[in-house]
Amino acid sequence: MKHTILAFTALLLAPLASLHAADQQPLRAGAAAVDITPKVFPLNMPGGFSANMAESAHDPLHARSLVLDDGRTTLAMVVVDNLGAGPDVLDEAKAVAAAKTACLPTRCSSAPRTPTAGRL
């Protein structure tokens, strides 16, 4: 899995590297991980036709991000350890990020990473 993430990141950075060489502007990058493990249990883990209650978290769950800025465009990618998040949660997160950074909501993307971790 780590090799897949590294390969995907390399593919994303390759076009930016050519832009950097042509424009001589620095490419800035930042990454972060935040623990989003639920604190209140039991918690229903969706994905089936009946309730599937979790009594605890086996491993910590995280939201991980990578932000790239070439001086003209800021792009943020977020991967969340959960089954998914509704559009209302994602739209709110993008709005908060846009208010605190130079990243436009249209340049923020998110994706679930762990199908067994539950829903936000």
Question: Is 18 a domain residue?
Answer: no
Question: Is 77 a domain residue?
Answer: yes
Question: Is 5 a domain residue?
Answer: no
The per-residue pLDDT for 46 is: 75
* pLDDT class of 8 with cuts at 50, 70, 90: very low
Report pLDDT digits (tens) over 91-111: 888 888 888 876 777 776 666
Question: Is 11 a domain residue?
Answer: no
2-32 as b/e: b if 16+ CB within 10 A: eeeeeeeeeeeeeebeeeeeeeeeeeeeeee
Task: Give the count of domains, the chain.
Answer: 1
Domain, as residue range, for 83: 25-112
As a whole number of angstroms, the distance between CA 54 and CA 106 comes to 35
Question: Is 16 a domain residue?
Answer: no
